[in-house]
Amino acid sequence: MITRTISQLAAMAGAESSGYVADLLIRGVCTDTRNLTPGSLFVPIRGLRFNGHQYVKDALERGAVAALWAQGEPDRPDHPAIIEVEDTLAALQRLAKEYRRQLAVSVIGITGSNGKTSTKDLLAALLSTTFRTHKTNGNLNNHLGVPLTLLGMDEETEIAVIEMGMSAIGEIAALSAIAGPDAAVITSVSEVHLGDLGTRDRIVQAKLELVQGLRPGGLLAYCGDYPQLVEGIDRVGYRGKTVSYGVQPSNDLHPIHWRADDNGFAFVLDEQVPEKFASPIHGRHQMVNALGAIAVARHLGVPEQLIREGLYDATLSGMRNEVVRVGRYLILNDTYKSNPSSVRAALQTLYDFRKPRRKIALLGDMVELGEESEQLHRSIGAELDPERIDLVITVGASGAYIAEEAARRFPGDRVVACADKEEAIARLNKEELDDSLLLIKGSRVLQLERIIEALRNKEAWSS
């Protein structure tokens, strides 16, 4: 993590330091007193419902050795290590941008409607076989998370894999300017941001902002299975180095043979000397994410054997195609978020499993889809395959549209619409789940992982 004197930090953030503590050493930056480490700089952030300046005094008492303070904020503490700035968020971002440029580090920026966190995890696993690698923790991928991730790098970091998210035009451009990526990955474009941006073209536009901060000689890797993304790259006239990846033969990097099943995925690339790559991670969409990671790892010079080893040993962040055993059945926990593209990918993973006798799909609301929400939910319901799913359970008012469409093709007793997760838990408690595979998929706001907790608790009491 960043280690500088208070005078150095003040200069990097665009402020004047307090006089007689100018040589005070600061290690690390924090914006939340709950995660504060002694010796760090506390940065108070103003939000719609909170003002971090209210916690500056508490942060200093808990061990922060300095704090930023926005000009004009009342009740400034009488403390010698207060750094006054015009805006604390802007100062934090400027500090991160400057720190990134002081280090001999290559930065990889990753964005996409789906798959960016998994691609980040896979790429970091591949790069860690060869380089001192730092990556975004969890999904700290916004205007606060990206600066904090950069400031969390050690001086010796050789490569940083930075995830970038957005909800509006201009946000990725700002993050890219801070991070200054040497390579960029765009994993996908889908309906996930329709509620915020309105059209698919604007979603593509927002994702392509990532290349604005790309350094000269950098690489843009993108999933060429999305025609709108390919067209968008042509439209913006990007002329730097590119590599496309995906399952379509038109991509620069694509498999000629592949499988995805209970044991994970494996594939052979269409190359002069075909090599087999394999991973115990489930989901053919994760195979596509792996292709993007391989493209960047090769660009950075990771040896092929280490790429294969890193891929096989990689692990993903939780609640993303996570297989959980509960007693004598399996749960496919994909509860982190949900949109039509990710639901289809999760369903394909469910279909690809061969061993469980019975397959159940529990699907919750997909939020932030804008005016197309009902139609998109109905389209998922119409696509559910009664030959490969034994029971469909939906959760939420929009999930009911999925159930309504599924009921047109499934026998009546095989589709159940529940108002909330409590009703879904009650319904599952009536099922004989042994030798089943239960997919649970829904948007983050529904917190459908609570269903897994309830099923685990029931199993613990009954065993």
Distances (CA, A) of 35 to 24, 99, 140, 164: 21, 21, 14, 22
Percent of the chain with pLDDT over 90: 84
Distances (CA, A) of 151 to 43, 147, 160, 302: 12, 6, 11, 25
Give the pLDDT of residue 36. 94
Query: Does the annotation flag 112 for ligand binding?
Result: yes
Write out pLDDT tens, residues 145-176. Answer: 999 999 999 999 999 999 999 989 999 999 99
Give the pLDDT of residue 462. 63
Query: Does the annotation flag 97 for ligand binding?
Result: no
Give the pLDDT mean for 7-24.
81
Strands 264-269 and 255-261: antiparallel
Do 77 and 57 form a contact (C-beta atoms < 8 A)? yes
- 364 pairs with which residues across the strands? 395
Q: What distance in Å separates the CA atoms of residue 443 and residue 68, rounded to the nearest whole number? A: 36
Query: Does the annotation flag 188 for ligand binding?
Result: no
Give the pLDDT mean for 439-459.
93
Query: Does the annotation flag 113 for ligand binding?
Result: yes
Write out pLDDT tens, residues 366-420. Answer: 998 989 999 999 999 999 999 999 999 999 999 999 999 999 999 989 999 999 9
pLDDT category at 18 given cuts 50, 70, 90 is low
Q: What distance in Å separates the CA atoms of residue 322 and residue 334, rounded to the nearest whole number? A: 6
In the predicted model, what is the mean pLDDT of the chain?
Answer: 94
Is the pLDDT at 463 greater than 60? The verdict is no
Query: Does the annotation flag 114 for ligand binding?
Result: yes
Is the pLDDT at 294 greater than 90? The verdict is yes
Domains and CATH numbers, the chain: 3-94 (3.40.1390.10), 103-313 (3.40.1190.10), 322-462 (3.90.190.20)
Cβ burial of 381 (10 Å; 0-12, 13-18, 19+) is buried
Write out pLDDT tens, residues 431-444. Answer: 999 999 999 999 99
- Residue pointed to by tokens 């090769």: 298
Give the pLDDT of residue 177. 97
What lies within 8 Å, CB to CB, of 342 at 6+ separation is 114, 190, 192, 334, 441
Do 360 and 390 form a contact (C-beta atoms < 8 A)? yes
117: Cα separation from own chain's centroid: 3
Give the pLDDT mean for 198-216.
91
Is the pLDDT at 238 greater than 90? The verdict is no
Write out pLDDT tens, residues 348-375. Answer: 999 999 988 899 999 999 998 989 999 9
Query: Does the annotation flag 118 for ligand binding?
Result: yes
Write out pLDDT tens, residues 65-121. Answer: 999 999 999 999 988 899 999 999 999 999 999 999 999 999 999 999 999 999 999
Is the pLDDT at 253 greater than 60? The verdict is yes
Percent of the chain with pLDDT over 70: 98
Is the pLDDT at 458 greater than 90? The verdict is no
| H-helix or E-strand spanning residue 392 | strand 391-395
pLDDT category at 215 given cuts 50, 70, 90 is very high
pLDDT category at 20 given cuts 50, 70, 90 is low
Give the pLDDT of residue 408. 96
